[in-house]
Amino acid sequence: MELRIAAVGTRLGGRWVLNGVDATPPPGALTGLLGPNGAGKSTLLRTIAGLLRPEAGAVLVGERAVHEIPRRERARHIALLEQENATVTDLTAAEVVALGRIPHRRWGGSPAGADPVGDALAAVGASALANRMWSTLSGGEKQRVTIARALAQEPRLLLLDEPTNHLDISAQLTLLSFVRRLVQEEGRTAVAALHDLNLAATYCDHVLVLHQGRLAAAGTPAEVLTPGLLRRVYGVEAEVLTHRGRIHIAFEGAHLPEAVS
Ligand SMILES: Nc1ncnc2c1ncn2[C@@H]1O[C@H](COP(=O)(O)OP(=O)(O)OP(=O)(O)O)[C@@H](O)[C@H]1O
């Protein structure tokens, strides 16, 4: 599904939080959305998902502006995993994942023999949690289950806001390699906001860097994550090494932040 972010400007609290953002996350690839705290990553993901209407420009999904697509249809095509998940207390993990199937119900559900809920739980290594009550899960277990819910939705466009939050290192690597394989094999589009630049360099085919609401750079991790960009956008000194054909960033230190007045 073709996604085009066309000169998007979004204003929140009287301030332009996104300003003239132009980008085309390629289908069949995992795109990393990078940038310091407050750069506008969550706002861009919410704008792409159609939850926020841009005041300038548009987000186009196929031929249509996303906010013009009826809500139910949007829910069949687009899944957004937000940073803070509403807690649903008295459901089991499998029931939480099954919520992701709701937009498909009227369309005859899943083909015979298919088990999208079981498959999604397995993909995040959470099959054993299926019958556990949501309220009894740890932070990382909840994160896995909410990711499974987004996967069970089988969206063409998967938007993930810091999906590796709370996950142990093995779960982080498993999740990102799973999402990458899924989008590559099925030609879907995924955009994930990430803070760990080495994870982004390892698993993302394409990265977008936001800085103060503007797009600072776009391209492959090797093209984008240069010492100069890291200094300019993040205020850090780093050496960028190449290891097995992929870049690896060795951080040397951060410049002192400017005093907050
Ligand atoms: N509802 C709102 N009203 C006013 N300002 C807002 C609102 N929501 C977000 N902002 C501001 O917009 C800017 C971008 O926020 P956003 O959450 O998109 O950043 P982010 O890149 O996702 O940050 P982080 O890495 O810290 O999660 C921040 O300065 C934030 O304070």
Cα separation, 246 vs 177, in Å, equals 15
CB of 42 sitting under 6 A from ligand 1: yes
Best mutation site among 8, 17, 165, 208 for ligand 1, i.e. most ligand atoms within 8 A of its Cβ?
17
Ligand 1 centroid – CA 18 distance (Å): 10
Does residue 260 carry a pLDDT above 70? no
CB of 17 sitting under 6 A from ligand 1: yes
Does residue 231 carry a pLDDT above 50? yes
What is the pLDDT at residue 7?
A: 97
Q: Which residue has the tokens 């063409």?
A: 156
Ligand 1 centroid – CA 246 distance (Å): 31
**Closest Cα to atom 30, ligand 1: which residue?**
38
For ligand 1, what atom is nearest to the CA of residue 36? 25
Does residue 144 carry a pLDDT above 60? yes
Question: For residues 100 and 120, is the Cβ–Cβ distance under 8 A?
Answer: yes
Ligand 1 centroid – CA 69 distance (Å): 25
Residues 96-122, mean pLDDT to the nearest whole number? 77
Residues 245-251, mean pLDDT to the nearest whole number? 92
Does residue 261 carry a pLDDT above 50? no
- Fold classification of 3-254 is Rossmann fold (3.40.50)
Among candidate residues 61, 54, 48, the one with its CA nearest the CA of residue 18: 54
What is the pLDDT at residue 86?
A: 64
Beta strand 157-161 with 15-23 is unpaired
What is the pLDDT at residue 116?
A: 84
- Per residue in 8-33, is it b (16+ CB within 10 Å) or e — as a string? bbbbeeeebbbbebebbbebebbbbb
Instruction: Please state the separation of Cα 203 from the chain's center in Å.
Output: 13
CB of 33 sitting under 6 A from ligand 1: no
What is the pLDDT at residue 186?
A: 86
Residues 93-103, mean pLDDT to the nearest whole number? 89
What is the pLDDT at residue 200?
A: 97
Question: For residues 209 and 185, is the Cβ–Cβ distance under 8 A?
Answer: no
Does residue 97 carry a pLDDT above 70? yes
Does residue 259 carry a pLDDT above 60? no
Ligand 1 centroid – CA 183 distance (Å): 28
In Å, what is the CA distance from 95 to each residue of 17, 122, 152, 201, 221? Answer: 36, 15, 11, 34, 37
For ligand 1, what atom is nearest to the CA of residue 44? 18
Query: How large is the angle between the packed helices 139-152 and 169-186, nearest 10 degrees?
Result: 10
Residues with Cβ within 8 Å of residue 64, at least 6 apart in sequence: none
What is the pLDDT at residue 113?
A: 63
**Closest Cα to atom 4, ligand 1: which residue?**
13
pLDDT in tens, 201-223: 999 999 999 999 999 999 999 99
What is the pLDDT at residue 125?
A: 87
The domains of the chain are located at 3-254
